[in-house]
Amino acid sequence: MSTFNQSADRQKGFSLVEVSMVTAIVLLLAIIGIPAIGSYVVENKVPRAGEELARFILQTKVNAPNGSAQPFAGISTAHFAALVRDSSIFSVVGTEAAQKVFHGLGTEGEVTVQPVSAGAAFSIGMSRVHHAACPSLASILQRVSNTISLTPAGGGATVVKDSLTPYSALMVESRCARGDANDFLFTISH
Protein backbone atom coordinates (compact mmCIF):
# COMPACT_ATOMS: atom_id res chain seq x y z
CA MET A 1 0.00 0.00 0.00
CA SER A 2 1.26 3.45 -0.74
CA THR A 3 1.68 6.20 1.83
CA PHE A 4 -1.07 8.19 0.17
CA ASN A 5 -3.65 5.45 0.72
CA GLN A 6 -2.59 4.96 4.35
CA SER A 7 -3.06 8.65 5.19
CA ALA A 8 -6.39 8.75 3.35
CA ASP A 9 -7.60 5.78 5.43
CA ARG A 10 -6.69 7.55 8.68
CA GLN A 11 -8.55 10.79 7.73
CA LYS A 12 -12.13 9.55 8.01
CA GLY A 13 -14.35 11.77 10.15
CA PHE A 14 -14.37 15.37 11.31
CA SER A 15 -11.88 17.23 13.40
CA LEU A 16 -12.82 18.72 16.76
CA VAL A 17 -12.61 22.22 15.28
CA GLU A 18 -15.06 21.33 12.48
CA VAL A 19 -17.55 19.79 14.91
CA SER A 20 -17.26 22.80 17.23
CA MET A 21 -17.91 25.24 14.38
CA VAL A 22 -21.01 23.37 13.19
CA THR A 23 -22.32 23.17 16.76
CA ALA A 24 -21.77 26.90 17.27
CA ILE A 25 -23.63 27.73 14.04
CA VAL A 26 -26.57 25.48 14.96
CA LEU A 27 -26.80 27.03 18.44
CA LEU A 28 -26.69 30.53 17.00
CA LEU A 29 -29.52 29.73 14.59
CA ALA A 30 -31.56 28.22 17.43
CA ILE A 31 -31.05 31.27 19.66
CA ILE A 32 -32.17 33.59 16.87
CA GLY A 33 -35.00 31.41 15.58
CA ILE A 34 -36.76 30.14 18.73
CA PRO A 35 -38.36 33.47 19.77
CA ALA A 36 -39.58 34.03 16.22
CA ILE A 37 -41.03 30.52 16.10
CA GLY A 38 -42.75 31.07 19.47
CA SER A 39 -44.39 34.27 18.22
CA TYR A 40 -45.46 32.54 15.02
CA VAL A 41 -47.06 29.66 16.96
CA VAL A 42 -48.97 32.08 19.23
CA GLU A 43 -50.10 34.22 16.30
CA ASN A 44 -51.48 31.16 14.51
CA LYS A 45 -53.64 30.25 17.54
CA VAL A 46 -55.45 33.61 17.54
CA PRO A 47 -58.12 32.89 14.89
CA ARG A 48 -59.22 29.70 16.65
CA ALA A 49 -59.19 31.35 20.10
CA GLY A 50 -61.10 34.37 18.77
CA GLU A 51 -63.64 32.10 17.10
CA GLU A 52 -64.28 30.18 20.33
CA LEU A 53 -64.56 33.38 22.38
CA ALA A 54 -66.93 34.97 19.84
CA ARG A 55 -69.05 31.81 19.78
CA PHE A 56 -69.31 31.90 23.58
CA ILE A 57 -70.32 35.57 23.50
CA LEU A 58 -72.97 35.03 20.84
CA GLN A 59 -74.40 31.91 22.55
CA THR A 60 -74.53 33.76 25.86
CA LYS A 61 -76.34 36.73 24.31
CA VAL A 62 -78.80 34.53 22.41
CA ASN A 63 -79.58 32.39 25.45
CA ALA A 64 -79.96 35.33 27.87
CA PRO A 65 -83.50 35.78 29.19
CA ASN A 66 -85.44 38.38 27.21
CA GLY A 67 -86.87 41.35 29.04
CA SER A 68 -84.63 40.91 32.06
CA ALA A 69 -82.70 43.88 33.43
CA GLN A 70 -80.02 41.43 34.61
CA PRO A 71 -79.72 38.76 31.90
CA PHE A 72 -76.11 37.90 32.78
CA ALA A 73 -76.35 37.94 36.60
CA GLY A 74 -75.34 34.28 37.04
CA ILE A 75 -72.57 34.06 34.46
CA SER A 76 -69.14 32.79 35.50
CA THR A 77 -65.93 31.26 34.20
CA ALA A 78 -67.56 27.83 34.63
CA HIS A 79 -69.92 28.61 31.74
CA PHE A 80 -67.02 29.33 29.44
CA ALA A 81 -65.16 26.25 30.74
CA ALA A 82 -68.11 24.04 29.77
CA LEU A 83 -67.92 25.31 26.19
CA VAL A 84 -64.14 24.95 25.75
CA ARG A 85 -63.47 21.80 27.76
CA ASP A 86 -62.37 19.89 24.61
CA SER A 87 -60.62 22.83 22.96
CA SER A 88 -57.13 22.64 21.52
CA ILE A 89 -56.49 26.29 22.45
CA PHE A 90 -58.03 26.58 25.92
CA SER A 91 -57.34 24.21 28.81
CA VAL A 92 -59.64 23.76 31.78
CA VAL A 93 -58.23 22.92 35.22
CA GLY A 94 -60.25 22.15 38.34
CA THR A 95 -63.88 21.32 38.92
CA GLU A 96 -67.15 23.26 39.26
CA ALA A 97 -66.75 26.66 40.91
CA ALA A 98 -62.96 26.25 41.25
CA GLN A 99 -62.40 25.89 37.50
CA LYS A 100 -59.69 27.88 35.80
CA VAL A 101 -59.42 28.32 32.05
CA PHE A 102 -56.02 28.96 30.52
CA HIS A 103 -55.59 30.29 26.99
CA GLY A 104 -52.73 29.31 24.73
CA LEU A 105 -51.91 32.90 23.75
CA GLY A 106 -49.29 33.48 26.43
CA THR A 107 -47.57 31.69 29.28
CA GLU A 108 -50.04 30.90 32.07
CA GLY A 109 -52.59 33.30 30.62
CA GLU A 110 -55.99 32.91 32.22
CA VAL A 111 -59.54 33.62 31.05
CA THR A 112 -62.14 34.86 33.53
CA VAL A 113 -65.84 35.51 32.95
CA GLN A 114 -68.02 37.49 35.35
CA PRO A 115 -71.14 39.65 35.45
CA VAL A 116 -70.79 43.44 35.22
CA SER A 117 -73.25 46.16 36.28
CA ALA A 118 -75.26 43.78 38.49
CA GLY A 119 -75.70 41.36 35.58
CA ALA A 120 -76.76 43.85 32.91
CA ALA A 121 -73.54 42.94 31.07
CA PHE A 122 -70.63 40.52 31.41
CA SER A 123 -66.90 40.69 30.93
CA ILE A 124 -64.23 38.35 29.64
CA GLY A 125 -60.80 38.99 31.08
CA MET A 126 -57.67 37.59 29.47
CA SER A 127 -54.38 37.90 31.31
CA ARG A 128 -50.82 37.55 30.03
CA VAL A 129 -51.60 37.74 26.30
CA HIS A 130 -48.46 37.60 24.13
CA HIS A 131 -47.78 40.65 21.96
CA ALA A 132 -47.98 38.50 18.80
CA ALA A 133 -51.64 37.78 19.62
CA CYS A 134 -52.53 41.21 20.97
CA PRO A 135 -53.82 43.21 17.95
CA SER A 136 -55.35 40.23 16.14
CA LEU A 137 -57.30 39.07 19.19
CA ALA A 138 -58.70 42.55 19.77
CA SER A 139 -59.59 42.88 16.08
CA ILE A 140 -61.57 39.65 16.13
CA LEU A 141 -63.42 40.40 19.37
CA GLN A 142 -64.13 44.07 18.65
CA ARG A 143 -67.05 42.93 16.49
CA VAL A 144 -68.84 41.28 19.42
CA SER A 145 -67.64 43.46 22.35
CA ASN A 146 -69.09 46.78 23.44
CA THR A 147 -65.98 47.86 25.34
CA ILE A 148 -62.36 46.72 25.17
CA SER A 149 -59.63 47.83 27.53
CA LEU A 150 -55.97 46.86 27.32
CA THR A 151 -53.50 46.96 30.19
CA PRO A 152 -49.88 46.32 29.21
CA ALA A 153 -47.40 45.32 31.92
CA GLY A 154 -46.15 48.39 33.69
CA GLY A 155 -48.80 50.64 32.18
CA GLY A 156 -52.28 51.81 32.95
CA ALA A 157 -55.48 50.56 31.36
CA THR A 158 -56.36 52.07 27.99
CA VAL A 159 -59.85 51.90 26.52
CA VAL A 160 -59.37 50.87 22.90
CA LYS A 161 -63.06 50.62 22.09
CA ASP A 162 -66.24 51.97 23.63
CA SER A 163 -69.20 54.12 22.56
CA LEU A 164 -66.92 57.18 22.26
CA THR A 165 -63.74 55.46 21.03
CA PRO A 166 -63.84 53.79 17.63
CA TYR A 167 -61.70 50.66 17.43
CA SER A 168 -58.27 51.05 15.81
CA ALA A 169 -56.01 48.02 15.31
CA LEU A 170 -53.03 50.37 14.95
CA MET A 171 -53.73 51.90 18.35
CA VAL A 172 -53.96 48.44 19.95
CA GLU A 173 -50.71 47.36 18.32
CA SER A 174 -48.92 50.47 19.58
CA ARG A 175 -50.19 49.86 23.15
CA CYS A 176 -49.24 46.17 23.38
CA ALA A 177 -46.15 45.42 25.48
CA ARG A 178 -43.58 42.87 24.30
CA GLY A 179 -43.86 39.36 25.71
CA ASP A 180 -46.70 37.73 27.68
CA ALA A 181 -47.53 41.05 29.27
CA ASN A 182 -50.93 42.24 28.10
CA ASP A 183 -54.26 42.00 29.91
CA PHE A 184 -57.56 42.47 28.07
CA LEU A 185 -61.04 43.12 29.39
CA PHE A 186 -63.86 42.65 26.90
CA THR A 187 -67.27 43.87 28.10
CA ILE A 188 -70.44 42.68 26.42
CA SER A 189 -74.04 43.80 26.92
CA HIS A 190 -77.33 42.88 25.28
pTM value is: 0.80
pLDDT digits (tens, 9 = 90+) for 107-161: 899 999 999 999 999 999 999 999 999 999 999 999 999 999 999 988 899 999 9
pLDDT digits (tens, 9 = 90+) for 34-87: 666 667 777 788 999 999 999 999 999 999 988 889 999 999 999 999 999 888
> Could you tell me if 176 and 120 are in contact, meaning their C-beta atoms sit under 8 angstroms apart?
no
Residue 3 pLDDT > 80: no
> Could you tell me if 62 and 155 are in contact, meaning their C-beta atoms sit under 8 angstroms apart?
no
| Residue 60 neighbours by CB under 8 Å, 6+ apart | 72, 75, 79, 122, 188
Q: d(Cα 71, Cα 35) in Å, to the nearest integer?
A: 43
Give Dmax over CA atoms of the chain in angstroms: 100
Residue ranges of domains in the chain, CATH in brackets:
45-189 (3.30.1690.10)
